[in-house]
Structure 1
């Protein structure tokens, strides 16, 4: 009896144990069932060991594509390359496009496959976003040459480099060439020859040729997984409309549309003006025409009030201006797209963002008018990927013609068509059946309107909170007969005092000598005078404080004395008070023969030669600003001739002298 009573509490306990065992068995069976499904193992491992799962999250081969860009072309090429790689080699690999300033250079050795899209800017310099990476890479390579670096640092990295430049410039694709050389020097393995894209000819064709070679190399190599989801054949000429990357679009009306961004209000920026990511709304104080009424061209002087910002600058720096398209261009584009300009909408990336689209330019409600005015590059030549995306939405004869242009058989016709510099707006109007959805237009067709940089033409000594800009107004006729107005120059010229424009300052190495006792020669025709006006304002301010200044010689050039001798009163006043020791002005159209700054340099070789001298006591600085295609080359040849004659040396030896001076910072160029 007592034994029975004692055993009674055990019965419920045994029943509970049975229930627990049953539940655990079900859990195990469910776990095994889920684990048998594709991808389930990873989820289960996260449940069991989160850290271990994170380490094994994605072990597919990775392709990293880095770009250094100033105008957006290298970025566009990077995205195009990523898209084509994903199409050809499929989901067995990972593909990532990164702005070079977002990439940690010291971790480059951890990558396995890297492609570099490297634009050359100015006088053979890297773009702003590539400067830090470029500096690190070249230093690492230089350390190898000195015997103090690791020549095997990148031996596990396979790479390809495509440089972007213009053959009319002295340092064609210099950055791409140096990057390729440095990567090899550090042990990297080139998958393909270096590509050099010439923007003066057909950079799209150059890029296509390089990609063809790259794909042939990749097909033979084992650096990427050959996934069955890929399409290893020729890249599709025109994608199906439903496959073209597109933002999601929400059309807003009524109360939902209230407060939408529009051109009637200032651009939605609230930065301090110290970087491109933080522009400041500067107030325009002065807009003044610098050419006489007799001139058939225009150049305006603009003063930007940056009071209330954190902007500080030095003479020689650049100001970046975020422009807007003209109202005429915007109205035409809206009509071509088939939407009223006052349409209000909101963009967002598709759910899950399967095509890894960038976040849209505007996160909130915006009118089509504002989107086209502030963000869409309507007047630059249309790219081939954009044309391919548009073709997917063309009908009838438009579709037939575009397919022909984009086909291998239409290569010659496309080249001739492309060289006419047809802009996006022209293409939309030339092929009226094209009516892409707004999500496609802003996600796959439109290129972003780019910042325009100007050499600051003032000094902070007399103007600490005012930035002066000397802006040549662009007006030219394209091969199609279209009258092209420079987007930013017309944007600025038509602004009234009091209007506000987004700006920021980009610092430069183009500087006056630290030692005011160092003589300087400045060569700057046309708007190349801009930074030298800042230099001269600074010299005048220093002289007023009692600073003793070395000689300063200015070689300026324009077409006609009565038409475009800009800042004449200021220059001649500075020449009179000694701020400019000697002023030389070349007028190319006033006489029977053309007279340029390099001709004046040749005549004044005895004056310039001491500034271009090496050795004890040397310390002069030589500056050039302006056109890189012609003027800068002519000035360089004149400088070589002066050194040859003064030193009794060969051309090669004279060039070596100037190279050493440039490396030492005594010769500086701000050319475009």
Structure 2
């Protein structure tokens, strides 16, 4: 419709003034009209770090870059950012950045101080979000060492805190490489490298490193300036601005339907099959799940890749959490990271509008133990003064023993802590900003071969169900979710590329060791070899060492493995049953008893060893067995055999997919 046209008329000053007053009054009413929202905690918004383009170059600055897979490095980075702001106040720019979003080639040479908090994932690999940066800096080091480039970071100071687990052979490999890379490029370390061990107390390791870092900064005031006067620095809890929406508002999908190529772009795939792999005699559960990806033609995987998925909390957990927050499950809201009421280092808000039930299902990790920053946030909203005092004690250095006894040793979950301190009812903005971490995606080795099942991803998942010291029954979020799934259900998934692949030459001998669900990628390998045989291709020898507790309980895929031996996809199958007799029998025992055959295969050109499963015990025992075989069959001393196995790995012939 065309707008109506008003004919010009004679000018009337009185009418004009009255109209102007009315217009201003109307604008003021609209501007001051209250919006429905939930109040955030009474904290002052921090001054967000400027972008490189608008940064005040007159101020000292520090960049904190994190590479994370489970969220710990990100949590530590934000915690460190807050401590630096508290220490130096507004006179210093502090920026916490996901290293995936950092323009290193342009920004790194201009930094005054940069701190790297880098986790090591898998067998000495960088995390997904750090992979591109890691590759780039390794190439830069190579260029400097080859004389292609000069050492161009000589004006940059840096610090490194690595996160890993000492049960893995390549403990903190990425953190160590970051240190040597920065040194090779000419940068100057501000303090010693920190090595966080998740198998012990990684929070304590981080606190010790921070103590060293702050001492080093105090000794070099030229880097960040003098510390702010006590009480003048920023001390802010991260909280979103929360916009309450009318009941029945159309909800957005928790994850937009994407390509499935990364964790940032998952695809909503359809579950086509879920079946139990253990027999009725077993007191445990392991499920076989098939995920249909035919609806996304460009989504492909290779045999040996991983599938990542976003699982959800159970309905029972969601209902308990909504009760603890004092809000109906159908509460509809939207989070905002900017504007009045938003504060602190915040992740991008999850999609909205969203119902509380969906947000708690997909975006709140409430079954893990809360960290100390979450306890401080709970203390800030506790209406009972004794509860607030106790929460602050648990979060403090003075309350370390109490935290260990009450939370760490008991594996007490965030949900249990909130039930124990009922007066602490945080706003949604504080809860999702500072208290409940985001649920991280779970990764599984794909247990199907791409040649046989190009449009279907198979997962072999042991269902986690443990009794915690508090008496709580802990059901693994992802495994129990998969167990609950029915054909037709949808789940957000993505493919994570892996280097755990069969040799390019199909004639190359392979030795596979994988007890329990460690069989998963080898099932894919066997299917790949079967497809080659059906195409009349020649394949080399393939030996599998598999282990389970009891043939009658948990011998998963038994019929398939027998058929693989029959067809030639497997040359030999050795099965260890650890609970079937008076003496425990494991895969490493079968490796040693078949040492001559193992050694003979390993003498063939390019022969490869693959290990999949538990890193803490099995992988180490297999490694020792391999050294034992080399020593006994190769007539070597223990040190010579150890060196031989190391060369096997260095030459790309010893592969591990362990967790």
TM-score by length of 2: 0.88
Partner residue of 1:206? 205
| Distance in 1 between residues matched to 2:53 and 2:71, nearest whole Å | 35
Match of 1:414 among 391, 403, 406: 403
Report whether the alignment pairs 1:280 with 2:267.
Answer: yes
Deviations 1:7-40 (A, max 9, x none): xxxxxxxxxxxxxxxxxxxxxxxxxxxxxxxxxx
Report whether the alignment pairs 1:468 with 2:458.
Answer: yes
| Distance in 2 between residues matched to 1:574 and 1:92, nearest whole Å | 68
Report whether the alignment pairs 1:402 with 2:391.
Answer: yes
Classify 1:662/1:148 alpha carbon distance in 2 versus 1 (closer, same or farther; 3 Å).
farther
Report whether the alignment pairs 1:632 with 2:619.
Answer: yes
| Distance in 2 between residues matched to 1:57 and 1:397, nearest whole Å | 44
Aligned length: 604
Deviations 1:559-589 (A, max 9, x none): 1110000000000111122110000000000
Report whether the alignment pairs 1:349 with 2:337.
Answer: yes
Partner residue of 2:366? 378
Classify 1:534/1:230 alpha carbon distance in 2 versus 1 (closer, same or farther; 3 Å).
farther
| Distance in 1 between residues matched to 2:294 and 2:146, nearest whole Å | 51
Q: Is the 8 A contact 2:238 2:346 kept in 1?
A: no
Partner residue of 2:518? 528
What's the CA shift for 1:54? 6.7
Q: Is the 8 A contact 2:241 2:342 kept in 1?
A: no
Partner residue of 1:90? 89
After TM superposition, list the pairs within 5 Å mapping 1:114-125 onto structure 2.
Answer: 114-125=114-125
After TM superposition, list the pairs within 5 Å mapping 1:250-399 onto structure 2.
Answer: 250-254=243-247, 257-261=248-252, 267-309=254-296, 310-351=298-339, 355=343, 357-358=345-346, 360-394=348-382, 395-399=384-388
Match of 2:566 among 570, 576, 589: 576
Report whether the alignment pairs 1:556 with 2:546.
Answer: yes
| Distance in 1 between residues matched to 2:391 and 2:562, nearest whole Å | 57
- What secondary structure does 1:527 align onto? helix
Partner residue of 1:642? 629
| Distance in 2 between residues matched to 1:180 and 1:450, nearest whole Å | 27
Q: Is the 8 A contact 1:89 1:224 kept in 2?
A: no
Partner residue of 1:483? 473
| Distance in 1 between residues matched to 2:608 and 2:189, nearest whole Å | 40
- What secondary structure does 1:392 align onto? helix
Classify 1:603/1:250 alpha carbon distance in 2 versus 1 (closer, same or farther; 3 Å).
same
Deviations 1:209-261 (A, max 9, x none): 1111111111111343336756499x99xx6xxx423211122224xx42124
| Distance in 2 between residues matched to 1:57 and 1:660, nearest whole Å | 51
Q: Is the 8 A contact 2:96 2:345 kept in 1?
A: no
What's the CA shift for 1:119? 0.8
What's the CA shift for 1:472? 0.6
Q: Is the 8 A contact 1:380 1:424 kept in 2?
A: yes
> What's the RMSD between the two structures over aligned residues?
2.1
Larger-gyration structure (1/2): 1
Structure 1: gaps spanning 5 or more residues = 1-52
Q: Is the 8 A contact 1:337 1:428 kept in 2?
A: no
Match of 1:596 among 575, 580, 586: 586
Classify 1:447/1:54 alpha carbon distance in 2 versus 1 (closer, same or farther; 3 Å).
closer
Partner residue of 1:585? 575
| Distance in 1 between residues matched to 2:360 and 2:254, nearest whole Å | 13
Classify 1:224/1:462 alpha carbon distance in 2 versus 1 (closer, same or farther; 3 Å).
same
| Distance in 2 between residues matched to 1:567 and 1:669, nearest whole Å | 22
Report whether the alignment pairs 1:514 with 2:507.
Answer: no
- What secondary structure does 1:592 align onto? coil
| Distance in 1 between residues matched to 2:63 and 2:375, nearest whole Å | 26
Deviations 1:151-204 (A, max 9, x none): 733221111111111222222222212222222232221111111112122211
After TM superposition, list the pairs within 5 Å mapping 1:30-49 onto structure 2.
Answer: none
| Distance in 2 between residues matched to 1:431 and 1:55, nearest whole Å | 44
Partner residue of 1:37? none
| Distance in 2 between residues matched to 1:124 and 1:635, nearest whole Å | 18
What's the CA shift for 1:267? 4.4
Report whether the alignment pairs 1:496 with 2:483.
Answer: no
Partner residue of 2:601? 611
Q: Is the 8 A contact 1:320 1:451 kept in 2?
A: yes
Report whether the alignment pairs 1:190 with 2:189.
Answer: yes
Partner residue of 1:152? 151
Q: Is the 8 A contact 1:195 1:207 kept in 2?
A: yes
What's the CA shift for 1:553? 0.1
| Distance in 1 between residues matched to 2:536 and 2:445, nearest whole Å | 28
Partner residue of 1:36? none
| Distance in 2 between residues matched to 1:319 and 1:361, nearest whole Å | 24
Classify 1:220/1:659 alpha carbon distance in 2 versus 1 (closer, same or farther; 3 Å).
same
After TM superposition, list the pairs within 5 Å mapping 1:4-153 onto structure 2.
Answer: 57-107=56-106, 108-142=108-142, 144=144, 146-148=145-147, 152-153=151-152
What's the CA shift for 1:646? 2.8
Classify 1:362/1:601 alpha carbon distance in 2 versus 1 (closer, same or farther; 3 Å).
same
Classify 1:260/1:56 alpha carbon distance in 2 versus 1 (closer, same or farther; 3 Å).
closer
Partner residue of 1:179? 178
Classify 1:227/1:91 alpha carbon distance in 2 versus 1 (closer, same or farther; 3 Å).
farther
| Distance in 2 between residues matched to 1:354 and 1:159, nearest whole Å | 30
| Distance in 1 between residues matched to 2:55 and 2:488, nearest whole Å | 58
| Distance in 2 between residues matched to 1:343 and 1:211, nearest whole Å | 40
What's the CA shift for 1:456? 0.3
| Distance in 2 between residues matched to 1:126 and 1:109, nearest whole Å | 22
What's the CA shift for 1:150? 5.1
What's the CA shift for 1:660? 2.4
Deviations 1:111-166 (A, max 9, x none): 2211111111111221111122222333433555x553657332211111111112
- What secondary structure does 2:576 align onto? strand
| Distance in 1 between residues matched to 2:222 and 2:637, nearest whole Å | 49
What's the CA shift for 1:360? 4.3
Structure 2: gaps spanning 5 or more residues = 1-51
Partner residue of 2:445? 455
Deviations 1:449-470 (A, max 9, x none): 0100000000111111001000
Q: Is the 8 A contact 1:610 1:620 kept in 2?
A: no
